[in-house]
Amino acid sequence: MRGATRRWPKLAVAGLAMLALAYTGYWFVLAGALERGTRAWIEDRHRQGDDITHGAPAWRGFPGSVQIVLPKPALALRVAAETVTLAGERAVVSVNPFAPQRATLGLEGEQTLAFRGLTRPVRYTGTAERCELQVQLRPGSHDGTGSAILSPATLTLRALAMTDAETGERFTVAALDATANSLPEGAPGRRYTFAAKDATLPASLDLPFAGVVSRAAADLDIGGNLPAVPSGDDLIAWRDAGGTIEVRRFELASGPVRLGGDGTLALDRNGQPIGAMSLEISGYPAALDALIVRGIVSVTAGLRMKQIFAVLAGGSVNPSKPVRIPLTLQERVLSAGPIPLMELPAVDWSRRSRGTS
């Protein structure tokens, strides 16, 4: 009896050793599968037209996490005639060994974001406190079989600060969260959400509200099958299949300007945007002044819009009073109710292609 009692500690130690050995083997098997899956995903992006490079991968994270470290990663993405390049010190692909169907891609160290093409070449360099993309993996995709990513995908960005070395302009974002998910009830398409706060945009981007954007948010449902970076042919095929964009929510706050609304957008028979939206705006004089200064609307059109908005506001002289405006876009003409506001330039979708140079 006494001998049996003495054997229990030895059996327990042996059992723990076997479990540790089995877990170690499982960790290395999962690490190898994750590396193969990462390589397969990169090859798939190459076939889609993206250019991805990196140094020799290394493993880390044992025992609590399986991590593949890719030194000096660089991604070059063609969007219309622009080439967007993101490069950095390290990219880390990681999974929890006890929940291996959820993967995280994180960027560490100094990052570089560059734009080259139609605009002046711009190169921003800086860091982020946190930059992570979380995705759900299809079963078996660690070995690169089939499409790896399922819904949902979540992007988290915190304390981004980047500077253009040539001009000294800064681009900062305190927080940004975005998600991509499937539409409810198995409908074809994707649901996207986006929310950012306390962003500083450089004036060289020539946006209507350059400066500080205290908040921006949008919820979109894109019905139909549309690639993440579509070509002109993709867009026309999507239109012919009945594709639409439902803007379930849109918000923007910049200085005295507050915008909010919802609506539906699509493409007409000529491939031009059409749609109807309900827009609520406060601080519209400042918003229209910004559009005039940027040359987006003429002085004459801007003054006419101010008169129309004042009427819709009930003659109120308070610029912060919200005004709700029904907007329509048809035959390239933007109208507030029955009143045409401005004619938009035609969009040439033939230049919206990965292969366009």
Tens digits of residue pLDDT in 4-24 = 556 667 677 777 788 888 888
Tell me what pLDDT residue 144 has.
Answer: 43
The answer for 219, left when phi > 0, alpha when psi is -120 to 50, beta otherwise, is: beta
Query: 38-62 pLDDT, tens per residue?
Result: 888 888 878 877 889 999 999 898 8
Max Cα–Cα distance, the chain, nearest Å: 102
pLDDT of 228 > 60? The answer is: yes
Which residue from 240, 271, 252, 150 is spatially nearest to 199, judged by alpha carbons? 252
Q: Which of 19-23, 69-73, 193-197, 308-312 comes out lowest in average pLDDT?
A: 308-312
pTM for the model: 0.81
d(CA 192, CA 182): 9
Tell me what pLDDT residue 323 has.
Answer: 85
Tell me what pLDDT residue 219 has.
Answer: 97
pLDDT bin (cut points 50, 70, 90) of residue 71 is very high
Q: What is the mean pLDDT of the chain?
A: 83
Angle between helices 284-293 and 299-312 (to 10 degrees): 170
Tell me what pLDDT residue 81 has.
Answer: 59
Which residue from 40, 78, 56, 23 is spatially nearest to 228, judged by alpha carbons? 78
Which residue from 56, 6, 61, 52 is spatially nearest to 28, judged by alpha carbons? 61
Q: What count of residues does the chain have?
A: 357
- The 10 Å CB-count burial string (b at 16+, else e) for 237-262 is ebbeeebbbbbeebebbbeebbbbbb
